[in-house]
Amino acid sequence: MLVTGGAGYIGAHTAKALDEGGFFPVVYDSLSSGFREAVRWGVLVEGDIRDAGGLGAAMDAYDVGAVIHFAGLIEVGRSFVTPDLFWNVNVTGTQVLLDVMRPRQIGRLVFSSSAAVYGDSGRGVLEAIAEDAPKAPASPYGDTKLAAEALIEAECRDQGLCGVALRYFNAAGADPSGLIGEAHEPETHLIPLAIAAALGRAGPLTVFGDDFATPDGTCLRDYIHVNDLAAAHVAALRADLPPGSFEALNLGAGLGRSVLEVVEAVARAAGRPVPYSIGPRRSGDPASLVADPARGAARLGWRAAKPDLEEIVTDALRWALGPAYGEGRKEAPAQAAADPNRG
Ligand SMILES: NC(=O)c1ccc[n+]([C@@H]2O[C@H](COP(=O)([O-])OP(=O)(O)OC[C@H]3O[C@@H](n4cnc5c(N)ncnc54)[C@H](O)[C@@H]3O)[C@@H](O)[C@H]2O)c1
């Protein structure tokens, strides 16, 4: 299985799940934000997703049977600054991948999409999002995910590919082994930032807005354990889906957790308070992003096995307390904005 972006957070966990499931992961990654040390299962081929020659050589050398496509740029905030680069990597990169797969008759592609394709389209605050909800991305990042989905869907319709776009909600946690975990630079995800604040490795957390129409006024998000995401990718490879079909499926636990609930869970797990202050709302932040996971359950026979926030936070904390990839990450994680929309 070719795993583009397999040296990154979700890709590394999926490579482990593939290995455990009897597949051989061929990680294809530029290491632009991923880590050599995260590739512990299968092999690493260094290369850029936009390099057709490199991709083709990796597919031929390992006789690749299917592709899982994680590689891409993921910071929502940065996508406003360099939208062209995001389109180039996330959309053009996906087209290059499809072009390289086609002559090799590789029949299945599983793609990392995102809840960012939905944006904030006026639904009720506690309303779960099904796949047919209006698509209204609120960032160039979300635009690129929707555009890449469209390219894949067209390839399925016109060329007989079987495509599965998995729309992740908030990926969180870490493998309980402590061998791999979340390592973004800068880190903008809520749970690692709250952990860094609790451990005194970063300044106080900023919570963006406490006046949303939610039970405690802070944003609701659906946190999905990264091991559950990984399992869904293996299920998507195995699912009985015909050539020419395209599925877009939400991956979430179906549970809305507020920012303050997460802060409290981190404080309990760490045994220390999480210093935080309330900041203003940011534009484009929906009050709530919670998945309706029913279609994924029906198509993949998958559901979140680790929906418990305490377990997610405990696994993330174990990883944060253990050895990091490379050097320096633990000393000063950048205190970027805690972004419940990230990715
Ligand atoms: N983390 C989340 O909560 C989340 C939510 C929704 C969707 N996603 C999507 O899931 C995927 C993986 O996210 P992640 O959190 O593991 O991110 P990550 O940054 O940890 O991993 C991305 C990987 O892609 C590689 N990469 C980037 N550009 C590349 C290129 N041009 N060529 C080859 N490799 C390249 C990086 O080196 C890295 O290893 C992304 O596509 C992201 O948009 C993530």
- Encode pLDDT of 211-258 as tens digits: 999 999 999 999 999 999 999 999 999 999 999 999 999 999 999 999
**What residue owns the CA closest to ligand 1's atom 8?**
343
Cα separation, 254 vs 143, whole angstroms = 24
User: Which of 27, 33, 100 should be mutated for ligand 1, with most atoms under 8 A from CB?
Assistant: 33
Q: Which atom of ligand 1 is nearest to the CA of 71?
A: 24
Q: What angle (nearest 5°) sits at the alpha carbon of residue 30, between those of residues 29 and 35?
A: 75
Q: Which pLDDT tens digit goes with each residue over 86-129?
A: 999 999 999 999 999 999 999 999 999 999 999 876 677 778 99
**Cα(248) to centroid of ligand 1, in Å?**
18
68 CB under 6 A from ligand 1? no
Predicted local confidence at residue 338, as pLDDT = 44
What mean pLDDT, rounded, does the chain reach?
93
User: Which of 29, 48, 109, 223 should be mutated for ligand 1, with most atoms under 8 A from CB?
Assistant: 29
71 CB under 6 A from ligand 1? yes
Does 341 score more than 70 pLDDT? Answer: no
94 CB under 6 A from ligand 1? no
Give the number of C-alpha atoms closer than 13 A to the C-alpha of residue 106, restricted to the C-beta side: 26
**According to the CATH classification, is domain 2-321 in 3.40.50.720?**
yes
**Cα(276) to centroid of ligand 1, in Å?**
28
Q: Which pLDDT tens digit goes with each residue over 274-311?
A: 999 999 998 778 899 999 999 999 999 999 999 999 99
Question: Which residues, 6 or more positions from 32, have their beta carbon under 8 angstroms from its beta carbon?
Answer: none
Cα separation, 14 vs 20, whole angstroms = 10
Does 329 score more than 50 pLDDT? Answer: no
**What pTM, to 2 d.p., does this model score?**
0.94
Any idea where the domains of the chain sit in the sequence? 2-321
